[in-house]
Structure 1
Amino acid sequence: MRFLPVSLTTMLVELADLDETLALFASLRADPVQGVEDMVPAARTLMIRFRPEKLTPEELAGEIATRDLSTRIAPSGELVEIPVQYDGEDLRDVADLTGLSVEDVVRRHTESEFTVAFCGFAPGFGYLVGGDPTLQVPRRQTPRTRIPAGSVALAGAFSGVYPQASPGGWQIIGTTPEKMWDLSRDPPAILQPGYRVRFFDLKKKTAPTSRITTKTPVTQPPEVASGALTLKVLAAPMPALFQDLGRFGQTGQGVSSSGALDKSALRAANRVVGNPAGMPCLEITLGGFSFEVSGRAVMALTGAACPIGIRDAAGRTISAGTYQPISLEAGDIVTLGHPTRGMRSYLAMRGAFAVKPVLGSASTDTLAVVGPDPVTAGSVLTVNNDGLALTSVSLHESPAFDHPASGEVVTLDVILGPRSDWFTDKGIATLSDQLWQVTPQSNRVGIRLAGNVSLKRRDNSELPSEGTATGAIQVPHNGQPVLFLADHPLTGGYPVIGTVAEYHLDLAAQIPVNAQIHFRPVTAFADIQPVKARDRGRRPTKTVRKHP
């Protein structure tokens, strides 16, 4: 068992195999450690997010090291049967890799009974184990940029079904018409950890003998009082997104937290107008947004500073500033210019937007396609006018940091790990010695970076899927890193060389295209050493690498 640093609030426990991982996961769920907030099981690791004010990483490792990992988790009594059309693009390649005929591949796949070990990568994506070992094949050398929803695939010891179209490197052997993820169901995912799964060939069988039944929740749109305050969106060059502080407690279904990329700006916007700090705001990328308000209102704009123009019903135009309450009257048209620094602005309305939560949050997750629809020109948004505990407006808010501009260098502190030892010494040095340019292919999922020198790996073997954290610097085969932001996949199969410190995540979210990032490691990479119970009275000394 190894304990590896991920960030200031997250560690990765590496175990011998999947059985030990599931045993530890079950143990920590049955007998929780105070201060542990979330866990993400994977092939042979358990990623644990904790509260450092409650316990140190060393203390948490000490608690975990005493757990019994001999218990084996029995599959549940639930059986899901999935119809498959075995016509996948890689079916012939899988046959060649295994030395079987295509018919034998199909037969062995349909004769196997699988168990959902864990969920990750995407909402509703279950990692299935227990199939015929002959069907264990490597990922594709070159991942596809788009795999269709319903694709049935193999990779290593796992089988799985892509619940929605997404990039991926698994070997596709077929497709299913079954909808694996549907927010109209409760729960939305057909596959849950512990469920048994069998596949059947649609050419030979037309209907399953058994199926998990899911209840459809009765959902009602939020009630809107007559004469409620509304905003009619006139322009949105890039769709605006509803965001709050995030969606928590859904990792068991493969759903990450998402949420506002610059949480300090979202909180400030709400405080300016007197809302509770975590209420939904509109996250607006690169300005250009315009709307007309139907009645008297108070708004605030924070984050990236956009010029704010307000034209009243009589045609008069005034300007307003960010981080201050702005009074509006019926018929006022608000138009945002484009920021010269930063990327994302946050629009709050006093009373907060009336937006229906999805899985407990109003955040829009662009990768998982979970949450309210994007806001575009023609959208009509409603603002709550009662039932919310409002306070007085705030006149004392300001940005938490200086927003960067294109062409500037931004320094981000990094915690090395959990897979720094997969890279050469030169590769680790390159991470911090070289500036990394932000490319136009960046979005809420992650910032794609380009450097003159690629990061060199010491270990070129295939990494089993493991949990990833917001801020993770994942390095694919080409050696050009991707800095994960809030909509990143819950699990990933490329090594993470380090993770941006939590206190710099809001800053990372505001870095524009063509700016450059300097990664500054603030810790030396080393395994976390467990502290025994008798030693918990003293806290171990941490090694910190200092930089000028």
Structure 2
Amino acid sequence: MVTARALPMGDRAFLIEVDGLDEVLAVHAALAASRPGGVTDLVPAARTVLVRVDPRVLPPAIATTWALRTAAAARTGATADGPLVELDIAYDGADLHDTAALLGISTDELVRRHAAAAWRVAFTGFAPGFGYLVSDDWPYDVPRLESPRTRVPAGSVGLAGAFSGAYPRDTPGGWRLIGTTSAPLFDAAAASPALLAPGARVRFRPSTAGHTAPLPSPRSGDLADAGRSAPDRPVSARSGDSGETGRAEDDGRAVDAATRPRTAALRIVEPGLLATVQDLGRPAAASIGVAVSGALDRTALRTANRLLGNPEGAAGIEVTMGGLRAVAETDMWVAVTGAWGPVRLDGHDIDPYEAHAWPAGAELHVDWFAHGARAYVAVRGGIEAPAALGSRATDVLAGLGPPALRAGDLVRVGPSPSTPIPVAPPQSWGAPHDDELELDVAPGPRAEWFAAGTALFDAVWTVTGDADRVGVRLDGPALVRTRAGELPSEGMVPGALQVPPSGRPTILLADGPVTGGYPVIAVVTDASLDLVAQARPGTRIRFRHA
């Protein structure tokens, strides 16, 4: 019998908390085997299983009852063995000798014990395909580096705490690196994208042939890289210029302009601060470390698509803070929604929230925004881009989906839908409110870690400049913790208010990590998340009970 309790995680998820990893594995297996319709994701972690629910299909209260009953009946040690994955490893990590000395053993002994251990993937997180491996044969608790590296190469194998793990792509990290593997740890196009999925058994096989080059890292497209231009890649803004000498990015590959297919497309002249392709995201892949991603202001994207007769989930371009210039390669239709600022088509001002004919050769200029932070440029037929895990969305943290748009990129447009462009009824669309927002929040799983009468609901918080698609950091009074100590990693959701040691919360957004180790005091409701998408640095925020 497993002792479990349910903890709220906002209005669309909850945690099932148990005593340890053995119970987590048993409960996760039992929940997965009896999962009802409406449970969209199950995310195991160190001591919890996150259960995400679609309340339109399954009321959360009923889902909680099912999960607790299933957890109570689960038996540890009764889970079926997962597939065996053998990883070739070269024990050549930068921290190998120091780690052995730290543990008081020889380097040869560390290598022998690591390779002899029978590992198992307890859960994934941090990055797509990053598996946290545990083993009964591994007796060590390895402290993380005091100062994390800003870049850990893809394929690095490391140790932290009781875990071992391998980095699927270049990321920052604080684990102690003992080796490298060239195994393809994550492939979004594969039937099973994560090589190290929860439940899999893992054996490390020392390589005598040496390690091949680490896997290349996809371009992240995060805010640090945003707005890069390519002065060495001149792109003509004239339509049909057969003598154009520049090059354009086509789905991440450079192609000569003369070889472009004669299909509907637009060409990016300037991306502004950050422009990415977004649809409604990947809602059911958190168990393999993949965030939801997708448009931050889903209502704005859906509205733009409806204005053009597209399916609501068709991909569009999310423009952060403005500055986008694009030229139509062929005649098309366009609508701009969301943030508020000047929009010009062929030099003439046009209204947002309307469908407009966009002639070939004409330039669309979405100028810098006066209100709001994100606008959506939708075209009839939707943006075409390679899908990753069923979505065309750009995930700036994980590097999934098409890279952030750059000057010279050729963006394909899909075929027009069979439905006509609707006659939009008269409606008053106003600028987004970005001076002060009131956000509804539901309880978080660690609210009791903070002082009663917390300042969360009394204070006026301010959005700092540290805000992007991953999360929004707030400034205000420090929230006082009444419980000290570290929190084992547990599943996260968009809207979670994580409270780091500074006491000032961060609101996780669509590209945020799927697991985290900071306590979550509350969760912004799903209905309020679109408002956060339009918050700018300096926006004031008040929280209220949902």
TM class by shorter-chain length?
0.7 to 0.9
Cα deviation, residue 62, structure 1: 2.1
Question: In the alignment, does 2:541 pair up with 1:517?
Answer: yes
Partner of 1:536: none
Question: In the alignment, does 2:461 pair up with 1:431?
Answer: no
Q: Alpha-carbon deviations, 1:490-548, whole Å to 9, x = none?
A: 111111111101111000011011222222233xxxxxxxxxxxxxxxxxxxxxxxxxx
Partner of 1:541: none
Question: In the alignment, does 2:444 pair up with 1:417?
Answer: yes
Q: Distance in 2 between matches of 1:456 and 1:18?
A: 29
Partner of 1:299: 334
The answer to whether the Cα contact below 8 Å between 2:189 and 2:388 also exists between their aligned partners in 1 is no
Partner of 1:375: 405
The answer to whether the Cα contact below 8 Å between 1:86 and 1:201 also exists between their aligned partners in 2 is no
SS at match of 1:265: helix
Question: In the alignment, does 2:502 pair up with 1:490?
Answer: no
Q: Distance in 2 between matches of 1:411 and 1:485?
A: 17
Give the counterpart letter for 1:260 in structure 2.
A
Partner of 2:278: 243
Aligned length: 495
Cα deviation, residue 329, structure 1: 1.8
The answer to whether the Cα contact below 8 Å between 1:91 and 1:172 also exists between their aligned partners in 2 is no
Partner of 1:261: 296
Cα deviation, residue 333, structure 1: 1.3
Choose the corresponding residue for 2:112, options 107, 120, 143: 107
Q: Kindly tell me: are residues 454 and 166 of structure 1, through their superposed partners in 2, closer, same or farther at Cα, counting changes over 3 Å?
A: farther
Cα deviation, residue 87, structure 1: 2.7
Choose the corresponding residue for 2:5, options 2, 5, 15: 2
In percent, how many aligned pairs have the same letter? 40
Partner of 1:396: 425
Moved more, 374-383 or 71-80: 71-80
Q: Distance in 2 between matches of 1:194 and 1:200?
A: 19
The answer to whether the Cα contact below 8 Å between 1:444 and 1:485 also exists between their aligned partners in 2 is yes
The answer to whether the Cα contact below 8 Å between 1:84 and 1:199 also exists between their aligned partners in 2 is no
SS at match of 2:466: coil
Cα deviation, residue 53, structure 1: 4.4
SS at match of 1:430: coil
Give the counterpart letter for 2:383 in structure 1.
F
Q: Kindly tell me: are residues 187 and 34 of structure 1, through their superposed partners in 2, closer, same or farther at Cα, counting changes over 3 Å?
A: closer
Partner of 1:37: 40
Q: Alpha-carbon deviations, 1:442-480, whole Å to 9, x = none?
A: 1101112222x3222222222111110000111222223
Question: In the alignment, does 2:192 pair up with 1:187?
Answer: yes
Give the counterpart letter for 1:130 in structure 2.
S
Q: Distance in 2 between matches of 1:60 and 1:471?
A: 20
Cα deviation, residue 439, structure 1: 1.9
Cα deviation, residue 144, structure 1: 4.5
Moved more, 137-146 or 78-87: 137-146
Q: Kindly tell me: are residues 11 and 239 of structure 1, through their superposed partners in 2, closer, same or farther at Cα, counting changes over 3 Å?
A: same
Question: In the alignment, does 2:125 pair up with 1:120?
Answer: yes
The answer to whether the Cα contact below 8 Å between 2:5 and 2:68 also exists between their aligned partners in 1 is no
Question: In the alignment, does 2:487 pair up with 1:458?
Answer: no
SS at match of 2:384: coil
Partner of 2:495: 471
Q: Map 1:282-361 to 2 at 5 A.
A: 282-311=317-346, 317-361=347-391
Question: In the alignment, does 2:56 pair up with 1:88?
Answer: no
Moved more, 501-510 or 354-363: 354-363
Q: Distance in 2 between matches of 1:374 and 1:338?
A: 18
Q: Map 1:97-176 to 2 at 5 A.
A: 98-130=103-135, 132-140=137-145, 143-176=148-181
SS at match of 1:87: coil
Q: Map 1:204-243 to 2 at 5 A.
A: 205-206=208-209, 227-243=262-278
Q: Alpha-carbon deviations, 1:18-76, whole Å to 9, x = none?
A: 22222222222222234322211112211111133444443323222322211522333
Q: Distance in 2 between matches of 1:111 and 1:207?
A: 19
Q: Distance in 2 between matches of 1:322 and 1:190?
A: 45
Q: Map 1:67-86 to 2 at 5 A.
A: 67=70, 68-71=73-76, 72-86=78-92
SS at match of 1:240: strand
Q: Distance in 2 between matches of 1:369 and 1:398?
A: 38
Q: Kindly tell me: are residues 185 and 63 of structure 1, through their superposed partners in 2, closer, same or farther at Cα, counting changes over 3 Å?
A: closer
SS at match of 2:371: coil
Cα deviation, residue 238, structure 1: 2.5
Q: Kindly tell me: are residues 150 and 459 of structure 1, through their superposed partners in 2, closer, same or farther at Cα, counting changes over 3 Å?
A: farther
Q: Alpha-carbon deviations, 1:113-172, whole Å to 9, x = none?
A: 201122222111011111544322344555444433223222332211121222334333
Choose the corresponding residue for 1:444, options 455, 469, 481: 469
Task: Could you tell me which runs of 5 or more consecutive residues in structure 1 were left unpaired when the two chains were aligned.
Answer: 209-219, 312-316, 523-548
The answer to whether the Cα contact below 8 Å between 1:273 and 1:394 also exists between their aligned partners in 2 is no
Q: Kindly tell me: are residues 474 and 401 of structure 1, through their superposed partners in 2, closer, same or farther at Cα, counting changes over 3 Å?
A: farther
Q: Kindly tell me: are residues 477 and 261 of structure 1, through their superposed partners in 2, closer, same or farther at Cα, counting changes over 3 Å?
A: same
The answer to whether the Cα contact below 8 Å between 2:464 and 2:475 also exists between their aligned partners in 1 is yes
Q: Kindly tell me: are residues 33 and 330 of structure 1, through their superposed partners in 2, closer, same or farther at Cα, counting changes over 3 Å?
A: closer
Q: TM-score, normalising length from structure 1? A: 0.84
SS at match of 1:39: strand
Cα deviation, residue 350, structure 1: 1.2
Give the counterpart letter for 1:308 in structure 2.
V
The answer to whether the Cα contact below 8 Å between 2:449 and 2:481 also exists between their aligned partners in 1 is yes
Give the counterpart letter for 1:232 in structure 2.
R
Give the counterpart letter for 2:353 in structure 1.
Y
Moved more, 240-249 or 78-87: 78-87
Q: Kindly tell me: are residues 399 and 476 of structure 1, through their superposed partners in 2, closer, same or farther at Cα, counting changes over 3 Å?
A: farther
Q: Alpha-carbon deviations, 1:245-290, whole Å to 9, x = none?
A: 1113323422122111000000000011111111010101111111
Cα deviation, residue 394, structure 1: 4.4
Q: Distance in 2 between matches of 1:476 and 1:76?
A: 35
Q: Kindly tell me: are residues 353 and 166 of structure 1, through their superposed partners in 2, closer, same or farther at Cα, counting changes over 3 Å?
A: same
Cα deviation, residue 374, structure 1: 1.9
SS at match of 1:206: coil
Q: Kindly tell me: are residues 468 and 174 of structure 1, through their superposed partners in 2, closer, same or farther at Cα, counting changes over 3 Å?
A: same
Give the counterpart letter for 1:416 in structure 2.
P
Choose the corresponding residue for 1:199, options 198, 204, 222: 204
SS at match of 1:342: strand
Q: Alpha-carbon deviations, 1:71-118, whole Å to 9, x = none?
A: 52233342322313343347525642x343444333322221201122
Q: Distance in 1 between matches of 2:504 and 2:467?
A: 13
Partner of 1:26: 29
Partner of 1:546: none
Q: Distance in 2 between matches of 1:436 and 1:275?
A: 38
Q: Alpha-carbon deviations, 1:356-395, whole Å to 9, x = none?
A: 2121111111111111222211111222234x33333342
Moved more, 70-79 or 279-288: 70-79
SS at match of 2:440: strand
Give the counterpart letter for 1:250 in structure 2.
A
Give the counterpart letter for 1:443 in structure 2.
D
Q: Distance in 1 between matches of 2:97 and 2:496?
A: 34
The answer to whether the Cα contact below 8 Å between 1:228 and 1:385 also exists between their aligned partners in 2 is no
